[in-house]
Structure 1
């Protein structure tokens, strides 16, 4: 851990935080391979969600032919599946980290507990409020987008990509979705911080200064619509049904996992599964930094990157003073 540490945090990762080596000069092939491997392989969020997507496609997804017409049965089946997935992921993480406090405050970024009460929350408490927006409108919009894309795919309104016909493109799409997410999220996130949109839309998500698993998809329905609309890129590039499942599950479920408030799941003395990111945790506390992710250094390029050091914090405060006049 660096000697230069920010105050007010319970756990700090090694700082300064590093962005993807694919955008540094001169190129470092060894660091590129390590970054790619650590992002994807062995036990990672991405690979787990690929597995969930295939499991859903094989066992819990209506046949494509059935989705040619809108019918209650197959739509209800998909909605129920998404409700169960959300409850399993967000619910189990909340139980592990907060209800049973299975690892105490080890790897927890913010030392404070989640808020039990608060006037800013619609239902009076942080967890209840977050569950309401996640399960109430979030899962509904997620399912509606899945339904519309499966209908479009079944009726020939978008290109069907199969492994048999194009194995390279079939596999490549899984790796390209997180890259697309990095670009798309940064653009919409900066837009959501425009004062009008922030006040009327994005501020609901920012009620969570100290985040937990149910915070990730706790958004105004307008923001949920914008956030999940990234999946409509498949109307242009095409998809297999499992790509649609993976894309929306990746967006929805990693929003949950990256907002756990912990750097990962600790078993013994080892972090067995990396989850929450300090990079985004700082955004929830400081607001005017780290709008994107570390995969593509948009924040570095546009001057809003906070690398977790005291010097970066001082620069952020100087920018605030200039903006405030």
Structure 2
């Protein structure tokens, strides 16, 4: 495998999931400490969500009735969030080459002069779909959810009324997102939907920050339906905004094509995973992410070995033969 990749972590990939039987309390505590007691990407997203709640997005009182002003405010904020996150990461890793190829999975750079992509350019193709359909639908789901919460059609809480649930729900949102993502991703890989919808995202075999949110409009709708959980589960605006950041700008972070951000040659921020990089290379494997063990349980896990590559290619042939 080392000849096929510029970099990969130690193989075969281990299992970092918190879902084990019998339970592993020590492993769970390490997972909580790593993700929530350090300046992790999740903690940074929660901080950003609080800042958006305080200074950027309109209040629920404003959202009680649909009006062009506050809806446009949400759209502009989301446009700038996606542009800043994907654009900033692309600038650092691919334009400035701030990390060179250290911890970069693929040997290749982003594609150009290829008719596979709209505008014959991978980055422009990804920007078009991310900033067009992506921002519009992210805004649509957010606006509808805010309106439902503002009018009492969706349950809401405050930190004062439910402090334990307030904190716990922040921890659970990424787990819910991972659960939802696995199942809708399996759906999108059914040949009918794959050919007509999901193939657009899979143009990106060699992924970059703009690839994460680049999808067909139908896939954007399916992917962002994860936000509908706030229609039935009691939430605060901060939970919704954290979920928005996780689904939108978060997709840019997980598709950088690099494993970690290095500062003075030390790993400071987790970004992409080799787990998902394998999915973009071999397609019919690793539909979920490492947080949920579905791929291991349902036999679609690729651990990075040549044996797993052989099995994945055989599975793909069987699927298309059917």
User: TM-score per shorter chain, which class?
Assistant: over 0.9
What are the Cα deviations for residues 141-173 of structure 1, in whole angstroms up to 9, with x where unaligned? 111111111111111111111111111111111
Q: 1:169 aligns with which of 162, 165, 178?
A: 165
**Structure 2: distance between partners of 1:318 and 1:225:** 31
1:60-71 to 2 correspondences below 5 Å? 60-71=56-67
1:259 matched to which residue of 2?
Answer: 255
**Distance of aligned partners of 1:66 and 1:324 in 2 relative to their CA distance in 1, 3 Å threshold:** closer
Partner of 1:196: 192
Aligned counterpart, 1:87:
83
Question: Does residue 141 of structure 2 align to residue 145 of structure 1?
Answer: yes
| Per-residue CA distance 1:98-131 (angstroms, 9 max, x = gap) | 0010111000000111101221212211000000
Conserved in 1, the CA contact under 8 Å of 2:17 and 2:293?
no
In 1, Cα distance between equivalents of 2:60 and 2:252: 28
- How big is the alpha-carbon RMSD for the aligned residues of Structure 1 and Structure 2? 1.5
Within 5 Å, give how 1:1-325 maps onto structure 2: 5-320=1-316
For 2:193 and 2:207, the matched residues in 1 are separated by 21
State the shift of 1:271 in Å.
Answer: 1.3
| Distance of aligned partners of 1:322 and 1:77 in 2 relative to their CA distance in 1, 3 Å threshold | closer
After TM superposition, give the deviation of residue 139 of structure 1 in Å: 0.6
TM-fit CA distance, 1:70: 1.1
TM-score, normalising length from structure 1? 0.95
For residues 208 and 313 of structure 1, the distance between their equivalents in structure 2, rounded to whole angstroms, comes to 19
1:18 and 1:294 in contact (8 A); partners too: no
In the alignment, the residues of structure 2 paired with residue 320 and residue 82 of structure 1 have an alpha-carbon distance, to the nearest angstrom, of 36
Distance 1:282 1:58, change over 3 A: same
Q: Deviations over 1:172-201 (max 9, x none)?
A: 111111111111000000000011100110
Offset at 1:32?
2.2
SS in 2 for 1:288: coil
**Unmatched 5+ residue regions in structure 1?**
none
Give the superposition deviation at 1:42: 1.3
Equivalent position SS for 1:316: helix
Bigger shift: residues 104-113 or 59-68: 59-68
TM-score between both structures, scaled by the size of structure 2: 0.95
Preserved contact between residue 282 and residue 313 of structure 2 (Cα < 8 Å): no
Contact 2:17 2:292 in 1 (8 A): no
- Answer yes or no: is the 8 Å Cα contact 1:19–1:296 preserved in 2: no
The whole-number CA distance in structure 2 between the counterparts of 1:77 and 1:100 is: 31
Alpha carbons 2:17, 2:290 under 8 Å: kept: no
Distance 1:322-1:69 versus aligned 2 partners, 3 A rule: closer
**Whole-Å Cα distance in 1 between the matches of residues 236 and 271 of structure 2?**
28
Corresponding pairs, count? 321
